Structures are given as structure tokens and as C-alpha cells.
A and B are shown apart, each in its own frame.
Chain A
Amino acid sequence: MEPMACQWTDAPHSMGTTIMAVEYNGGVILGADSRTTTGVYVANRASDKITELTDNVYLCRSGSAADSQVVSDYVRYFLNQHTILLGRLATVKTASTLVKELSYQNKSFLETGLIVAGWDKYEGGSVYGIPLGGTLLRLPFATGGSGSSYLYGFLDQAWKSNMTQEEAEALVVKSISLAIARDGASGGVVRTVTINEEGVQRKFYAGDKLPLFHEEIAPRPTPIHAN
């Protein structure tokens, strides 16, 4: 039993994760679960996987927690310099390209799948997926992390173009909830970040308030039976 007991204390922090971002008419919605694991232990049940790169561009992180944090720190630093030099907000494309460069040029060291999404005045809302290897793809919506496997079929059916903000938000929350229900590496709360012309809005959906799915039951007070 000894090796088993130590396994998770030594295992690298990984965000199994479910992350996604959806473009709607006017902006983007980013969503993520909140579970960070070291092996089988949940090291953090309320992590924040949606990280700010600039005022108008955010990043969803999956895979190795350390790798995604360091990439995010570098890009935030580069974009800070770039914004000062440029004199206006960075574009989502620029942010995505920087993330891609780091991912691609260091592909043999990094294990992180990322989604960059935000709003700029040229393209409106845009979503860029940067999976392992450092491919850069602009997409109408993107998913990532181990939990995303459970969403391919669901989103093939449920996603449609030109959604309103409410529809897009509902889709993101439902998707992450579905993934949490089946993926052991995803769990906790659902966090969403909405980015549009007006600015950025964070939302929090508590774990016990998420919809219940197949064979899940609602919590209730402990039943006490008299003998």
C-alpha cells in the first residue's frame, strides 16, 4: 500500500479539465470546470482555469497546470509590452499567435491544450483553439481537456451559429456540467467569463446547483428512522 499512498503526493499537478469557448453575436463566452488533480487526489476543487491575458482577451487552460501557467505568464508579459508599444488594445489574433508560438516552439517540453478567446473591434468576438503540438485554428467554438471527449456528440447536435448571449451561456454551462458528470478529471464549479464590447463579466455556478443528469440524485437532509 505504501507506493499507492505516495503516488498522488508526487504526481504532477494536472488539470484533467473541461474547457470551452463559444463565439456569439457580440462577443465570446469562456467556460471551465474547477478541478485540479495530482494523480487521483483533487488538489484544488475550486481552481480558476480561465486566465486573463489582457483586458479583452482571456485564456482557458488544460493539461499540465505548471505548463499552462508558465505559457500564460509569458504571453501576459509579452502582451503587456505590446499594448504599451501599440497604444491600443491587442487583438485576439495577436494574443493567439503568441500563445501558438510558445506552444509550437516548445512542443517537446509542453503538455497543455489552450483556448484563447476575446473581443476586439476588428473581428468582434473570436475563439482560437491551440491543441497539443501548437496548431492554431480559429473556430466558431472550441473545447479542450479530458472532459471534452464527452461533448463531441452533444455539441454536434446542440451548437448552432449566431446564438444570443443567453443561449451561448446556457450552452456552455450545460456542456461543462455534462462533462463533469462523466469525466473523473473534471469537477467542482462551473466558471464562465463573458467578453464583449462592454467589457468582461465573470460568473460562478456552484457545484451543488448544477443540473442533475442520468442516475444522479439531489441532496436532501439525512433521513432519520426511529427504531
Chain B
Amino acid sequence: MHHPQVLRSQMRWECHGGQEESKQEQIYVGRSLMGPPTPFTLMPMPGVPITHTQQPYVTGTSVLGLIYEGGVLIAADTAGSYGSTTRFKSVERMKAVSNNTLLGASGEISDFQAITQLLDRLIVADAMWDDGNDLGPLDIHNYLTRVMYNRRNKFDPLWNTLILGGVKNGVKHLGSVSMIGVHYVDNHIATGFGIHLAQPIFREEWKENMTLEEGTRLLEKALLVLFYRDRSAINKIQVANVTEDGVHISQPYALKSEWNLEAFKNPTASAAGSW
């Protein structure tokens, strides 16, 4: 970010040894984006570093992603869990950041909403330069890495694992950023339970230049396993297709699940006891 206002405040911060900044700043990213301290802080404590290390309340489970011939496919279910309760069943966990980048998140939904609000402002500020160059998926990925890592260092994390995918100038990008700032890119990515259940499937079955159909089928296969085996998952998913031309997020739909297996009907019939 080379916005002049950010540079000036950074210089001031260096000169005065951080006092001015720590007196006012509660959010540690780009003054120009978060704006001056708002009246929404109920207990402002000048000079005292605010330590939160929160706990998540409303959470989303796995997000999956993979690269295919035309771009990037990212999928997630629409559940918002509140502890062990599936409290909200129509939560959007993926959002288009710009017309060639998509962000998906697992973890605390309120923090995801704050991140998308932050990115909206970032994209607008970038577009206002009108310099013929807009932030691409890799740029957003790096930016989010800084955001997440800096919050982690203040013991005030954004409680999410983010999946960032997009295409720019023909180059496809798919990456992940965790709440502690761990970041990487790969051809196929998953968060949460998906790391354990979906990634092994991807490692076996992903290949270069899959078609849209093949990629979607592979994501659905992994999502079905997650529906069977992740207690926080529900059978209501959205799949997003990100290409150079645009981002398209599907309407929520449900997968066909298989329960009509003979072995399921009477599992204890030949057992000693009832288990």
C-alpha cells in the first residue's frame, strides 16, 4: 500500500517511538482503511495495549478449493455453528473480493464479515488510483497474511482460516492464510476438517487442467465425505467458480447422500450383546 496518508502516519510512528499510534490505534491495519478511532470503543484505555485472544462464537467449518483449467473452484457449506448447535443454516462463507478474486473463510463469522468490509475498502482505495492496475489474488493473499500475522502478534487474532483464490493475467492463484499468519499456496486447499478428510482425496485425484465438470465433481465428492463425517457440516453447499472474467457463486444446493446400505440396516444383528 503506497497511499500517502499511510506513509505519513508510519513516519510519525517511527519518529515518536510508537506512542501516538498506540494511544489511538486499536486496529493495526492501514489507517486510511480503518479510519480514525470510532465511538464504538466502549472502554478506551490510552497507552495500554489491548490483549484479547478471544474465543469464537458463531463458526463456519471447512472450506475447500482447487485449481482447474479455467480458473479456481472454491466450495463451502452454509452453516453457522454456535458451539455444538447448528444455529444458522444460510450463512454466506464466501464473498467475491473483486471481479477476479474470491475469499472463503472458516472460523468466526463476525471476523470474516470484518475482513470482507476491510477488503471492500481496500479494493475501492486501489481502484481510485485509476492507474490501470488493480490488486490481484496474490496481492490480496499477501495483504491478508500481513493482517492476520499482525493481529496474531497483538494477541488479538481474527479467528479465521482464509482461502483466497483467483486469476490474473492468466495466472491462477489459490492460497490459504490461517489465524496465526501461516500462509501457503497449492493446487488444492482445505481448511479445518477438510485438511484431514478432503486433502487426501485431492492428493489422489487432482490433476492438471481438470474441466469445470471434473473439478466440481471432485469438490462435491470431498464435501459429501465432510457431510458424513464432520458433525458441524450440513448438506447445503455453495460452489464458487473464479475465472479471469468474473466470480460466480452458485445458489445453495444439497448433495445426494447414500444411506441405503444393507450393512446399515441391521448392524447389530449378528453381534453378541447389542453393539
Q: Using a CB–CB distance below 8 Å, which chain A residues touch chain B?
A: 70, 74, 78, 100-110, 129, 131-137, 139, 149, 152
Q: Using a CB–CB distance below 8 Å, which chain B residues touch chain A?
A: 26, 38-43, 50, 52, 54, 56-58, 80, 82, 85, 87-88, 91, 108-110, 113-114
By DSSP majority rule, is chain B's interface helix, strand, loop, or mixed? loop
Measured between beta carbons, the chain A residues less than 8 angstroms from B52 are: 107-108
For the complex formed, measure the closest distance between the CB of A78 and the CB atoms of chain B, giving whole angstroms: 8
Measured between beta carbons, the chain B residues less than 8 angstroms from A152 are: 85
Quick one: given A109-B43, A131-B87, A135-B109, are A104 and B114 in contact (CB under 8 Å)?
yes
Inter-chain CA distance A103–B111, complex, in Å, is 12
Name which residue of chain B comes closest to A132, CB basis.
Answer: B57
CB<8 Å pairs between A and B, sample of 7 = A78-B39, A101-B38, A102-B42, A106-B40, A108-B54, A132-B57, A132-B58
Inter-chain CA distance A179–B192, complex, in Å, is 34
Q: Is the CB of A105 within 8 A of B38?
A: yes
Name which residue of chain B comes closest to A70, CB basis.
Answer: B42
Q: Is the CB of B41 within 8 A of A134?
A: no
Q: Is the CB of B109 within 8 A of A133?
A: yes
Quick one: given A108-B52, A108-B54, A137-B88, are A131 and B82 in contact (CB under 8 Å)?
yes
Q: Is the CB of B40 within 8 A of A137?
A: no
Inter-chain CA distance A6–B261, complex, in Å, is 59
For the complex formed, measure the closest distance between the CB of B262 and the CB atoms of chain A, giving whole angstroms: 31
Measured between beta carbons, the chain A residues less than 8 angstroms from B58 are: 131-133, 135
Q: Is the CB of A135 within 8 A of B113?
A: yes
For the complex formed, measure the closest distance between the CB of A128 and the CB atoms of chain B, giving whole angstroms: 12
For the complex formed, measure the closest distance between the CB of A79 and the CB atoms of chain B, giving whole angstroms: 13
Q: Is the CB of B109 within 8 A of A105?
A: no
Q: Is the CB of B42 within 8 A of A131?
A: no
Q: Is the CB of A102 within 8 A of B88?
A: no
Measured between beta carbons, the chain B residues less than 8 angstroms from A74 are: 39, 42
Inter-chain CA distance A131–B50, complex, in Å, is 23
Inter-chain CA distance A74–B88, complex, in Å, is 27
Measured between beta carbons, the chain B residues less than 8 angstroms from A100 are: 110
Inter-chain CA distance A135–B109, complex, in Å, is 6
Q: Is the CB of A105 within 8 A of B54?
A: no
For the complex formed, measure the closest distance between the CB of B82 and the CB atoms of chain A, giving whole angstroms: 7
Inter-chain CA distance A139–B90, complex, in Å, is 9
Measured between beta carbons, the chain B residues less than 8 angstroms from A78 are: 39
- Residue among A70, A136, A139 making CB contact with B113, cutoff 8 Å: A136
Known interface pairs A101-B40, A109-B43, A133-B57; 14 further A-B residue pairs with C-beta atoms within 8 A, sorted by A's residue number? A78-B39, A101-B38, A105-B41, A105-B42, A106-B40, A106-B43, A107-B54, A108-B50, A110-B42, A131-B58, A133-B108, A135-B58, A135-B109, A136-B110
